[in-house]
């Protein structure tokens, strides 16, 4: 008996082009969706990936793209290796000003063996609800904090303010009073931010450390499932004009829209303190 298809809709604070790339760029898909080895938004292209169910059982998905309308529609088959049945998944994008409404339709579930508990319709409903309501939303709505501030100080002094213990505790207080850091700021060294009680708040690694020039720290997102990990990075770039003035540029992210709004005023406060300390 034919079942009614699953239909899930969500509206994202992101342009259709960004959502489309999230759905069709294999490198982006790996960050929020599944670890798909290769993907091309072309009719006839077959792609495969392994997904786990609630019990930890792995299922090999075999899919073939059947329709592509760039930035608007993508349809592909969806079946399981070793099992009868073939279903179809359709992603539709509807631009609505600065936002995009996405409709996911999954039909043909009745073709799968009814004796396999994992193929129950409710499992698919729960899965697609989480994928569209959390995973895709968090990915497409993310952004970065970008700051560019000129200071009456040398790049070397700004570097000292960013890294010397007597200064870091002062500007980091903008995020949490009593925050301090354990690191030597050398490339590949661990960076551990702790609160006033010594509890670890964030743990990262120095990727680039060029004194008075560039400092980049990567913080892996350990709270996400394996296939949705997205590292958060902070980059501090300094440029000196050789006349006692320098510019500090900060790029921190990605962050969800919610966290962007939360962190923006904190970064403004921290940068104001960095500027004050550098210009003393």
Please write the tens of the pLDDT for every residue from 255-270. Answer: 887 788 899 999 999 9
Which ranges of the chain have pLDDT less than 50? Answer: 222-229
pLDDT at 224: 43
pLDDT at 225: 42
pLDDT at 227: 39
Residue carrying structure tokens 């792609």: 47
SS (H, E, C) the chain: CCCCCEEEEEEECCCHHHHHHHHHCHHHHHHHCCCCCCCCCCCCCEEEEEEECCCCCEEEEEEEEEEEECCCEEEEEEEECCCCCCEEEEEEEEEECCEEEEEEEEECHHHCCCCCHHHCHHHHHHHHHHHHHHHHHHHHCCEEEEEEEEECCCHHHHHHHHHCHHHHHHHHHHCCCCCEEECCCCCCCEEEEECCCCCEEEEEEEEEEECCCEEEEEECCCCCCHHHCCCEEEEEEEEECCCCCEEEEEEEEEECHHHHHHHHHHHHHHHHHHHHHHCC
pLDDT at 230: 60
pLDDT at 1: 66
């Amino acid at each position: 008996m034919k079942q009614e298809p699953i239909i899930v809709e969500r509206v994202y604070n992101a342009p259709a082009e960004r959502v489309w790339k999230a759905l069709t760029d294999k490198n982006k898909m790996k960050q929020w969706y599944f670890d798909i080895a290769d993907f091309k938004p072309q009719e006839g292209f077959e792609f495969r990936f392994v997904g786990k169910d609630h019990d930890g059982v792995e299922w090999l998905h075999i899919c073939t793209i059947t329709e592509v309308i760039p930035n608007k529609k993508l349809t592909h088959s969806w079946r399981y290796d070793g099992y009868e049945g073939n279903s179809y998944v359709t992603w539709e994008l509807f631009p609505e000003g600065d936002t995009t409404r996405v409709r996911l339709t999954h039909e043909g579930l009745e073709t799968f063996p009814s004796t396999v508990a994992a193929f129950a319709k409710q499992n698919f409903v729960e899965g697609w609800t989480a994928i569209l309501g959390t995973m895709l939303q968090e990915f497409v709505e993310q952004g970065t904090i970008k700051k560019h501030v000129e200071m009456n100080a040398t790049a070397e002094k700004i570097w000292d303010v960013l890294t010397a213990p007597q200064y870091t505790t002062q500007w980091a207080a903008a995020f949490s009073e009593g925050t301090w850091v354990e690191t030597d700021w050398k490339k590949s060294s661990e960076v551990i931010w702790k609160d006033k009680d010594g509890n670890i708040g964030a743990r990262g690694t120095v990727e680039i450390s060029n004194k008075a020039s560039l400092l980049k720290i990567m913080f892996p997102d350990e709270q996400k499932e394996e296939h949705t990990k997205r590292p958060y990075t902070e980059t501090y770039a300094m440029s000196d004009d050789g006349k006692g003035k320098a510019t500090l540029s900060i790029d921190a992210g990605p962050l969800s829209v919610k966290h962007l709004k939360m962190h923006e005023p904190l970064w403004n406060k921290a940068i104001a303190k960095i500027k004050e300390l550098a210009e003393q």
